[in-house]
A and B are shown apart, each in its own frame.
Chain A
Amino acid sequence: MQTAPDIRAAQSAPLLDVQGMSISFATAGGRLEATRDITFAVAPGERIGVVGESGCGKTITGLSLLRLLPEDVAHISGRLDFMGVDLATCSEAALRDIRGKRIGMIFQEPMSALDPVFTVGDQIAEGLLAHGRMSRAEARERALEALRSVGIAAPEKRFHAYPHQLSGGMRQRVMIAGAMICNPQLLIADEPTTALDVTVQAQILELLRDLSDRAHMALLFITHDLGVVAETCTRMLTMYAGEIVEDAGVDAALEHPLHPYTSGLLRALPRLSERRSALPSIPGRVPVLGQMPEGCRFRQRCPFAIDGCERPQPLQDAGAGRRVRCWRFRDLDLPGVAA
């Protein structure tokens, strides 16, 4: 299997080791669990895609890794081991040393992530000045270099530009330059290309792959687009209703998905159906927080659900470095994509 080396690497020396992470929110109606039992590891330089429909907990998972959720309402339990530091319990000071420096993050909408009243150069250099001891001149040099490395032409000129003077693709490049400036070991990218045109998306994906290869930087790529994952990542985590339901190498997951939800997502892609034929879909919708079904959370939408699916479903070892949260996976021969 082509992806086996990556998975072995993940097992031997993880950069990030998440064990049993649950995120819950305090609401007027009591505590609601948004994600449950999230367990996965990221090896140095590994690129992992996190997929699922909206409301499956992808974004919350990414935000929790940097404790970016409001702490008065969001509670994180479990262990989030990043190079020996537990991100769930470490001090704010320890976290500040990691955020932006060793773990970077970029978002879907660069316009709301960039400050409109500062030049992009200042915003990129800010990360350096906050984390490293260096002169402004030195920080400026490094920021220019970062702008150049993300493919921005005439960086000396762009350095003094304000975000509104740049196009969407250019802004996302600025975000990436800012996130990369301290050479993080891990970049969390939450739908970074969803708002971009497809030709610009292709440029940004190429850039992220290239930067990750060159700097041996791991990537946690959150997206709803399976095509983007196939082109960017080596491993894929499928999330459903706040749980990881499948963990496999990208090629393996695409060709032989083991969870009915992963298979359903693949079948719903129009390009895989004959032109003008009826498209398969997944009936129903993701259950809302506080109304999670017992046992398998997907069973109400699952065409393979039988008696027994209402029992608790652990994320079990499926061999070849794969994991799946479905007790029937050995009996099911699910369709994926194939030649």
Chain B
Amino acid sequence: MTDARTPTLSVRELRVEFPATERGATVKAVDGVSFDILKGETFGLIGESGSGKTTIGRAVVHLVEPTAGTILHDGVDPATLSSRDFRAARRAWQIVFQDPNAALNPRSTILTSVMEPLAILGVGSAAERRLAAMRALARVGLPEEIGARYPHQLSGGQKQRVVIARTLTLKPELIVCDEVVAALDMSIRGDVLNLFAELQRELGLTYLFITHDLSVVSHISDRIAVAYLGRLVELGPAEAVTESAIHPYTRALLSAEPAPLPSHMRTGKRILLEGEIPSPINPPSGCHFRTRCGHAVDLCAQRAPEWREIVRGHWAACHFAEQFSGEKNEVGNKAGATLMGG
């Protein structure tokens, strides 16, 4: 936010509401969120179910319409474009979902699926589209013969590569990755994450990486934002957020992650949160997290904490953020663990 680079995406006071089944009630899925994503960076967005992270991602690529607020892509609000210009601009921002099975037509061959977006946009001749699709498949590390196959003949990891290849045919600048490795086995998650990193280096891609998995987000992100019940509670450089988190929710989240470490290495103190995330139909007054926060006082119910920069580049929304900042986290063992031997 204080970086000299220009943001490729600028989100200001974003609000997304959905009608609830109960009469007259609304679900405040996103309740006033602001952030910038810089060109070429990986911006991690983490949160539990109900945090609004998926809705933020969809709003960014205009799959859901904001109730209020602005979303600027390279300084332009797509909502102001004519539908023709909007379609042309939209190529630049793409989204990849968790489940590649749902994203691929079971009755189409892989090559047909990968060519489809170009066909819809009417780019090039059929032969050119075919070539572009084959190049994209090769680019994500799939052998040529995969193109003739059907989704059910591929493994989960291969299918996710196909979806990435399809996205690449459009030459996007920003890709929203929504839980893209959550459905994959541990042993191949690394492959897919490595592919994202490689593509970023070579093509200068920008990622909004949405996940509930802390180890994934802290591994690949430059900066991390933490969402809770429709709002951001913390945002900062990945190291700062994982090693000196300010917000009590971030700290609890970090400490809740099960650490694959032997007993003598788990020095971290666990902060066990009570209860579960409240309903976004009727969120708590003031600070949304106060009902589960061990530090909550009367003030937290009366007034929503201001979203402010606590340390350079490190933002938080907590009345006591200044007091908490600078404390080294006693949770987890983030930095201590490395591989040995072999």
Query: Contact residues of A with B, CB < 8 Å?
Result: 2, 53-54, 167-170, 197-203, 205-206, 224-231, 250-251, 254-255, 263-276, 278-282, 285, 333-339
| Residue on B nearest A333 in the bound complex, by CB | B341
Q: B258 contacts A272, CB within 8 Å?
A: no
Bound-state Cα–Cα, A46 to B9, Å: 52
Bound-state Cα–Cα, A203 to B273, Å: 8
Task: With A197-B277, A267-B339 as known contacts, state yes or no: A285 contacts B155, CB within 8 Å.
Answer: yes
B197 is an interface residue with CB less than 8 A from chain A: yes
Bound-state Cα–Cα, A264 to B220, Å: 20
What is the 8 Å Cβ interface bit string for chain B, positions 181-216, against chain A (1 contact, 0 not)?
000011111110110010000000000000010111
The interface-forming segment of B69-77, B127-135, B262-270, B298-306 is B262-270
Q: B186 contacts A265, CB within 8 Å?
A: yes
Inter-chain contacts of A53 with B (CB < 8 A): 185-187
Write the nearest CB–CB distance from B70 to chain A, whole angstroms: 30
Q: A271 contacts B260, CB within 8 Å?
A: yes
Bound-state Cα–Cα, A170 to B257, Å: 19
Inter-chain contacts of A254 with B (CB < 8 A): 260-262
Inter-chain contacts of B4 with A (CB < 8 A): none
Q: A335 contacts B337, CB within 8 Å?
A: no
Q: A230 contacts B186, CB within 8 Å?
A: no
Task: With A279-B190, A333-B341 as known contacts, state yes or no: A205 contacts B258, CB within 8 Å.
Answer: yes
Inter-chain contacts of A205 with B (CB < 8 A): 258
Q: A276-B219, A334-B341 are in contact. List 18 more A-B contacts (CB 8 A).
A: A2-B263, A53-B185, A197-B276, A200-B276, A201-B258, A202-B273, A263-B342, A270-B190, A270-B218, A272-B337, A279-B189, A279-B190, A281-B194, A335-B342, A337-B262, A338-B337, A338-B339, A338-B340
Inter-chain contacts of B253 with A (CB < 8 A): 198-199
Bound-state Cα–Cα, A225 to B256, Å: 14
Write the nearest CB–CB distance from A7 to chain B, whole angstroms: 15
B334 is an interface residue with CB less than 8 A from chain A: yes
5 smallest CB-CB distances across A and B, nearest first, come from: A279-B190, A227-B258, A335-B342, A281-B190, A251-B262
Write the nearest CB–CB distance from A6 to chain B, whole angstroms: 12
Bound-state Cα–Cα, A224 to B182, Å: 12
29 CB contacts below 8 A, A to B, read A2-B264, A53-B185, A54-B185, A170-B276, A197-B48, A198-B212, A198-B214, A198-B257, A200-B48, A205-B258, A206-B272, A224-B185, A227-B257, A230-B258, A230-B262, A231-B266, A250-B263, A251-B263, A255-B262, A267-B339, A270-B190, A270-B219, A271-B215, A271-B260, A274-B338, A276-B220, A279-B191, A335-B341, A339-B336
Q: A278 contacts B194, CB within 8 Å?
A: yes
Bound-state Cα–Cα, A312 to B157, Å: 30
Write the nearest CB–CB distance from B3 to chain A, whole angstroms: 18
Inter-chain contacts of B270 with A (CB < 8 A): 202
Write the nearest CB–CB distance from A252 to chain B, whole angstroms: 8
B101 is an interface residue with CB less than 8 A from chain A: no
